[in-house]
């Protein structure tokens, strides 16, 4: 079976500084895959590379078997990959409803249409309402996204990410800055909404990682030192030495 | 899917209520446009209405860029002017060949001209937003404006190209010679263009324009190319600007290089900004105000542009949302019924503010007319520009007005906070 995401020998340098070196990563379809690693290991850069935000210096990235390295983010998105951002990245002056609806429009085939009334597109309306319901923000639908609470914005961020119906979802630290109760809520939400899809998640909270992930990759200094099931990662001496040591046991 | 019907139903309900109000507004606008010249029938007001109508289309077209898509253009008059030139050339050709094309179609030609130019230069221009776009728009604006003086066969040099709107075939017995017929032609295009531009904001493209304005980076991750979105917005803006240019050509029966220049581009930016770019109707208010000011001020003072500058700075500093922003800020208060608690503080603040404004006017006029030793008539009181008493009066008004106004505006802010808190508690956010 083709992997959902296949990263082959990718390198990324900014000037003389090599951030990512010989990165190899394979995420199977339907798998929940967590990427962990110390600060500055290149987790966000890996996300940016896979989603097309930045281009690799060398190497190749495939999405569902198709080469996507070198494509623009929207081209990769149209091929079925959607990502969220570590720093909330929503449409601040638009309402919650409009935020989600914008994320639904391309996927429902309306593209750049300027001859259709956006309010009278039944499937758009239904799907937007469904997503709002899923992320528990229906009661806030007419509030500008910039006025939401932090936790609500994080939920909206996830809502926008999943709204297009992408088969591969990448979440960059979705629970960062959340309280314990909010985190639990968010994890339940992620688990439910990514059912049947491929999930790649960067996360610092180890309880989230080990509770959610089928497989874990450990990234240290731009290189993946180990990939495996949570048990394998827990038992891996290299991982213990490099990163987890005191945190996992 | 189980919970989906509830929000969907609520949404449908809300939108059908909105639709009724929506059509109501346009019917009202149509009636107003028909009735206006019957109430104010003097030649002067008819001329003003024609200019205001054109300014409304132009300012709304500008707001497709600035307010809807977040593109700050310093060269929007290019599309307007080229639309005007194309309209004049087509009118002359139609008249020469006796083609069966009536005058009311001509603004559409102007629109096509504006759009064609946008199509040509837009792809390169809209690659980036922000400063890059602003600078390129300025450059293109200057380029076209200066070419218009060089390419004489197309632009007619300094004198421009004239035309005769009555030489086209009449429609329903209308020759469009009398200004009133031109007014109705303009009014028709104002209504059609405004409805079309509003409708555009309600389409998938219109919504994505807003998304590009708010966050172009994120737009790329929901499947859209912000470059394409900006390009399309630029073409639509060019189209409606061209319609406004075509109407101007019909109205004045001439197109000249002034249509294309930086002054015209500045004026439309000014109109949209003063009116308020965050709301669709903002630029309409701005266009009305700016055109009236332009017409009114030029007859009373030689330094009317200075007043424009002062007003612009004032709006940027104290009301960046423009007139529409100020009005819409009051909406939650009106809904919650707490507006009455703010009004007295407004009235109190109005007195020193007015004194301050008068002081500024007196200062400006004194400086402007000092060498001539002219008399300034302000509120019926004659002030001699060279008299020290006049300078003293101006100084007292400016300094005293400012000091007192500052205190009263603080009171306004307090009254405002109280009223807004009550409105928020009652659940009115906007």
Listed by start position, the domains of chain B span 26-318, 331-425
In this model, does residue B216 exceed pLDDT 70? yes
Q: Which of B218, B231, B430 should one mutate to test binding to chain A, selecting the residue with the greatest count of A CBs within 10 A?
A: B218
CATH architecture under which domain B26-318 falls: Orthogonal Bundle (1.10)
The band of B15, judged by pLDDT with boundaries at 50, 70 and 90, is: very low
For residue A245, the model assigns a pLDDT of 52
In this model, does residue A86 exceed pLDDT 70? yes
In this model, does residue B12 exceed pLDDT 60? no
The band of B6, judged by pLDDT with boundaries at 50, 70 and 90, is: very low
Collapsed DSSP state (helix, strand, coil) of residue B296? helix
Q: Which of B1, B221, B231, B429 should one mutate to test binding to chain A, selecting the residue with the greatest count of A CBs within 10 A?
A: B221
Mean pLDDT calculated for residue range B246-267: 95
In this model, does residue B367 exceed pLDDT 60? yes
Which of A90, A105, A115 lies nearest to residue B208, judging by beta carbons?
Answer: A105
What is the Cα–Cα distance from A91 to B69, expressed in whole angstroms?
A: 12
Q: From residue B96, how far is each of B1, B91, B92, B101, B248 by CA, in Å?
A: 66, 9, 6, 12, 21
The pair of structure tokens assigned to B393 is: 């009066």
What is the Cα–Cα distance from B349 to B402, expressed in whole angstroms?
A: 11
What is the Cα–Cα distance from A95 to A141, expressed in whole angstroms?
A: 6
Residues from chain B contacting residue A102 (CB–CB below 8 Å): 207-208, 210-211, 219, 222
In this model, does residue B322 exceed pLDDT 70? yes
CA A199 to chain centre: 7
β-pair type (A168-172, A198-202): parallel
Residue A226 inside a domain? The answer is yes
Place of tokens 């109190």: B348
Residues from chain B contacting residue A119 (CB–CB below 8 Å): 15, 202
Mean pLDDT of chain A: 93
Buried b (16+ CB within 10 A) or exposed e, B125-149: bbebbeeebbebbbebbbebbeebe
Closest CA to A209 of A233, A237, A193: A233
A56 vs chain B: nearest CA distance in angstroms? 18
| Cβ partners under 8 Å of residue B320, min gap 6 | none
What is the Cα–Cα distance from B297 to B313, expressed in whole angstroms?
A: 18
Closest CA to B49 of B178, B187, B181, B175: B187
Query: Mind listing the pLDDT tens digit for each residue in A195-245?
Result: 999 999 999 889 999 999 999 999 999 999 999 999 999 888 888 887 655
Provide DSSP, B367-392: HHHTTTTPEEEETTEEEETT-HHHHH
The pair of structure tokens assigned to B157 is: 């040099």
| CATH number of the CATH domain containing A53 | 3.40.50.300
CB A203 within 8 A of CB A227: no
Which of A77, A89, A112 lies nearest to residue B217, judging by beta carbons?
Answer: A89
Q: From residue A237, how far is each of A38, A231, A248, B182 by CA, in Å?
A: 16, 12, 12, 86
CA B364 to chain centre: 26
What is the Cα–Cα distance from A213 to A103, expressed in whole angstroms?
A: 26
In this model, does residue B414 exceed pLDDT 80? yes
In this model, does residue B14 exceed pLDDT 60? no
Q: What is the CA radius of gyration of chain B?
A: 24
What is the Cα–Cα distance from A39 to A203, expressed in whole angstroms?
A: 11
For residue A121, the model assigns a pLDDT of 95
Write out the residue range of the structural domain in which residue A36 sits.
1-78+206-249
Residue A196 inside a domain? The answer is no
B38 vs chain A: nearest CA distance in angstroms? 35
Mean pLDDT of chain B: 91
The band of B11, judged by pLDDT with boundaries at 50, 70 and 90, is: very low
The pair of structure tokens assigned to B99 is: 């083609």
Query: Mind listing the pLDDT tens digit for each residue in B37-87?
Result: 999 988 889 999 999 999 999 999 999 999 999 999 999 999 999 999 999
For residue B427, the model assigns a pLDDT of 80
For residue B9, the model assigns a pLDDT of 38
Mean pLDDT calculated for residue range B110-139: 96
Burial of B15 (0-12, 13-18, 19+ CB in 10 A): middle
Mean pLDDT calculated for residue range B101-125: 96
Angle between helices B43-63 and B282-300 (to 10 degrees): 140
The band of B20, judged by pLDDT with boundaries at 50, 70 and 90, is: low
Answer yes or no: is the ipTM higher than 0.90: yes
Residue A239 inside a domain? The answer is yes
For residue B2, the model assigns a pLDDT of 37
For residue B4, the model assigns a pLDDT of 36
In this model, does residue B261 exceed pLDDT 70? yes
CB B130 within 8 A of CB B118: no
In this model, does residue A20 exceed pLDDT 70? yes
Residue A222 inside a domain? The answer is yes
Query: Mind listing the pLDDT tens digit for each residue in A123-141?
Result: 999 999 999 999 999 999 9
What is the Cα–Cα distance from B341 to B427, expressed in whole angstroms?
A: 18
Q: How many structural domains does chain A have?
A: 1
β-partners of residue A226 are A218
Residues from chain A contacting residue B217 (CB–CB below 8 Å): 89
For residue B5, the model assigns a pLDDT of 37
For residue A248, the model assigns a pLDDT of 46
What is the Cα–Cα distance from A7 to A10, expressed in whole angstroms?
A: 7
Place of tokens 């004049």: B88
For residue A243, the model assigns a pLDDT of 65
Please state the φ and ψ torsions of residue A169, each to the nearest 5 degrees: -115, 130
- Residue B94 gets the label, from left (phi > 0), alpha (psi -120 to 50) or beta, of alpha
State the DSSP code for B178: S
β-pair type (A223-228, A66-67): unpaired
Residues from chain B contacting residue A118 (CB–CB below 8 Å): 202-204, 206-207
In this model, does residue B164 exceed pLDDT 70? yes
Largest pairwise CA distance in chain A = 61
For residue B193, the model assigns a pLDDT of 98
Residue A225 inside a domain? The answer is yes
Q: Which of A63, A74, A97 should one mutate to test binding to chain B, selecting the residue with the greatest count of B CBs within 10 A?
A: A74
State the DSSP code for A241: I
CA B190 to chain centre: 13
For residue B215, the model assigns a pLDDT of 96
The pair of structure tokens assigned to A157 is: 């961020």
Q: Lowest mean pLDDT of A208-222, B105-119, B185-199, B299-313, name the range.
A: B299-313
């Amino acid at each position: 079976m083709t992997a959902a995401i296949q990263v082959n020998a990718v390198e990324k340098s900014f000037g003389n500084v090599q951030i990512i070196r010989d990165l190899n990563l394979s995420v199977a379809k339907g798998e929940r895959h967590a990427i962990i690693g110390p600060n500055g290991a290149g987790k966000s850069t890996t996300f940016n590379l896979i989603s097309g935000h930045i281009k690799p210096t060398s190497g190749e990235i495939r999405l569902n078997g198709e080469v996507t390295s070198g494509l623009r983010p929207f081209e990769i998105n149209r091929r079925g990959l959607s990502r969220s951002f570590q720093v909330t990245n929503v449409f601040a002056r638009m309402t919650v409803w409009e935020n989600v609806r914008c994320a639904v429009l391309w996927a429902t085939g309306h593209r750049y249409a300027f001859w259709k009334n956006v309010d009278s597109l039944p499937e758009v309306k239904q799907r937007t309402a469904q997503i709002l319901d899923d992320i528990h923000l229906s009661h806030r639908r007419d509030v500008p996204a910039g006025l939401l609470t932090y936790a609500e914005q994080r939920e909206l961020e996830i809502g926008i990410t999943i709204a297009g119906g992408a088969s591969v979802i990448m979440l960059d630290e979705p629970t960062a800055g959340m309280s314990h109760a909010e985190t639990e809520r968010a994890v339940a939400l992620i688990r439910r909404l990514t059912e049947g899809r491929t999930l790649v998640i960067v996360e610092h909270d180890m309880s989230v990682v080990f509770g959610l992930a089928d497989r874990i990759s450990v990234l240290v200094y731009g290189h993946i030192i180990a990939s495996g099931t949570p048990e394998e990662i827990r038992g891996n001496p290299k991982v213990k030495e490099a990163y987890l040591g005191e945190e996992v046991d | 899917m189980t919970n989906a019907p509830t929000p969907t139903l609520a949404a449908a309900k809300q939108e059908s209520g909105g639709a009724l109000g929506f059509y109501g507004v346009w019917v009202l606008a149509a009636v107003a446009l028909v009735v206006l010249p019957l109430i104010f029938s003097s030649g002067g007001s008819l001329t003003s209405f024609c200019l205001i109508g054109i300014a409304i289309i132009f300012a709304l077209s500008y707001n497709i860029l600035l307010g809807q898509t977040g593109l700050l253009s310093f060269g929007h008059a290019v599309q307007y002017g080229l639309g005007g030139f194309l309209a004049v050339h087509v009118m002359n050709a139609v008249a020469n060949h006796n083609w069966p094309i009536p005058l009311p179609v001509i603004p559409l030609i102007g629109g096509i001209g504006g759009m064609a130019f946008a199509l040509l230069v837009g792809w390169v221009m809209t690659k980036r937003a922000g400063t890059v776009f602003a600078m390129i728009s300025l450059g293109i604006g200057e380029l076209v404006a200066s070419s218009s003086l060089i390419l004489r066969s197309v632009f007619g040099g300094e004198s421009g190209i004239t035309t005769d709107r009555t030489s086209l075939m009449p429609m329903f017995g209308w020759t469009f010679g009398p200004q009133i017929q031109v007014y109705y032609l303009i009014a028709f295009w104002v209504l059609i263009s405004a409805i079309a531009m509003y409708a555009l904001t309600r389409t998938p493209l219109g919504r994505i324009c807003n998304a590009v304005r708010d966050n172009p980076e994120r737009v790329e991750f929901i499947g859209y190319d912000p470059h394409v979105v900006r390009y399309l917005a630029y073409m639509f803006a060019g189209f409606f600007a061209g319609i406004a240019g075509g109407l101007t050509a019909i109205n004045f029966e001439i197109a000249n290089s002034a249509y294309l220049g930086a002054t015209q581009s500045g004026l439309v930016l000014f109109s949209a900004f003063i009116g308020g770019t965050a709301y669709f109707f903002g630029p309409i208010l701005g266009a009305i105000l700016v055109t009236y000011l332009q017409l009114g001020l030029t007859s009373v003072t030689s330094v009317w542009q200075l007043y424009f500058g002062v007003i612009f700075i004032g709006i940027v500093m104290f009301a960046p949302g423009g007139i529409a922003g100020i009005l819409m800020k009051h909406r939650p208060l009106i809904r919650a019924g707490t507006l009455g608690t703010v009004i007295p503080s407004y009235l109190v603040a109005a007195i020193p503010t007015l004194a301050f404004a008068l002081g500024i006017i007196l200062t400006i006029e004194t400086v402007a007319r000092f060498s001539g030793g002219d008399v300034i008539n302000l509120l019926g009181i004659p002030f001699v520009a060279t008299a020290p008493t006049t300078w003293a009066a101006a100084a007292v008004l400016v300094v005293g007005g400012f000091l007192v106004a500052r205190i009263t505006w603080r009171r306004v802010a307090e009254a405002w906070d109280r009223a807004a808190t009550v409105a928020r508690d009652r659940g009115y956010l906007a």
